[in-house]
């Protein structure tokens, strides 16, 4: 199998996340159970405020759950303290709606940035170059973000998310800032890379055509799973 060992399984049991207190208490994730197979490609859909981003943040250990257990590749993410959670996050790839590239750095240096302070067992520059080629940016390694289109900037962000060889990629509205054709191309690219490099993908999206590109579509409403189906495209 490829470098992400074919991706990692994700198990979510009884997950609850609340924000605020008293009258302003919101249960953003309300008793979610979800099992994702290693190497699977899942879309999370649902209206604005249904809890998609919060669920991704909990799986990625960006937020801490109030109740429930998340296990990723056999590791209990919900039990991790600050240091281990930070190390876990380094092993997860994140892609966001906004690309969050550093404006003063070239595409190549943006991709390299996450691993520069870290000890890694691969040639950083060679891998960054290979990833930029893999996302279709051969020949644009030295371009600044301002010299790239939105779709190209998101491709740089995808390469950056993959530099640490994640077994899990969490994408939060990765196509939200792109026109539909470009966005669908970006989603196809993420899934092609998942196959090539071997990682599990979970994507929050409100775009039907983007969700259909996953194998499985999980719908949230008010923090609860209300539907879980194979996509028609799969």
Ligand X SMILES: Nc1ncnc2c1ncn2[C@@H]1O[C@H](COP(=O)(O)OP(=O)(O)OP(=O)(O)O)[C@@H](O)[C@H]1O
Choice from 22, 23, 48, 146 touching ligand X (CB under 6 A): 48
Choice from 8, 42, 54, 78 touching ligand X (CB under 6 A): 54
How far apart are the C-alpha atoms of 154 and 95, rounded to whole Å? 8
How far apart are the C-alpha atoms of 130 and 210, rounded to whole Å? 26
From the CB of 32, what's the least distance to ligand X, in Å? 11
Decide if residue 25 touches ligand X (CB under 6 A).
no
Q: Which one, 24 or 146, has the nearer CB to ligand X? A: 24
User: Helix, strand or coil for residue 231?
Assistant: coil
Q: Which one, 20 or 233, has the nearer CB to ligand X? A: 20
User: Helix, strand or coil for residue 48?
Assistant: coil
Q: Which one, 143 or 177, has the nearer CB to ligand X? A: 177
How far apart are the C-alpha atoms of 203 and 183, rounded to whole Å? 13
CA proximity to 181, closest of 217, 149, 204: 149
CA proximity to 64, closest of 84, 50, 85, 49: 85
Q: Which one, 59 or 137, has the nearer CB to ligand X? A: 59
Q: Which residue has the tokens 């996302």?
A: 135
Q: Which one, 192 or 228, has the nearer CB to ligand X? A: 228
Site map for ligand X, 167-206, x if CB under 6 A?
Answer: -------------------------------------x-x
Q: Contact 175/205 with Cβ under 8 angstroms?
A: yes
Choice from 53, 153, 154, 219 touching ligand X (CB under 6 A): 53
Give residues in contact with ligand X (CB under 6 A). Answer: 19-20, 26, 28, 46, 48-54, 204, 206
């Amino acid at each position: 199998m490829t470098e992400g060992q074919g991706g990692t399984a994700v198990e979510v049991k009884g997950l609850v996340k609340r924000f605020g207190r008293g009258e302003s208490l919101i249960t953003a994730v309300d008793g979610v159970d979800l099992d994702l197979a290693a190497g699977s490609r899942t879309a999370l859909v649902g209206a604005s405020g249904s809890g998609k981003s919060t669920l991704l943040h909990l799986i990625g250990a960006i937020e801490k759950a109030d109740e429930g257990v998340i296990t990723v590749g056999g590791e209990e993410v919900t039990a991790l303290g600050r240091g281990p959670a930070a190390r876990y996050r380094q092993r997860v790839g994140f892609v966001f709606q906004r690309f969050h590239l550093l404006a003063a750095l070239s595409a190549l240096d943006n991709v390299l940035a996450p691993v520069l302070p870290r000890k890694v067992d691969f040639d950083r520059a060679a891998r960054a170059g290979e990833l930029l080629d893999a996302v279709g940016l051969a020949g644009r390694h030295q371009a600044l973000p301002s010299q790239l289109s939105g779709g190209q900037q998101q491709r740089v962000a995808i390469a950056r998310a993959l530099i640490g060889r994640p077994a899990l990629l969490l994408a939060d509205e990765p196509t939200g800032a792109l026109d539909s054709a470009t966005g669908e191309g970006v989603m196809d690219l993420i899934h092609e890379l998942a196959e090539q490099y071997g990682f599990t993908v979970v994507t929050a999206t409100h775009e039907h055509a983007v969700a259909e590109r996953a194998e499985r579509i999980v719908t949230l409403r008010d923090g609860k799973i209300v539907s879980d189906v194979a996509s028609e495209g799969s």
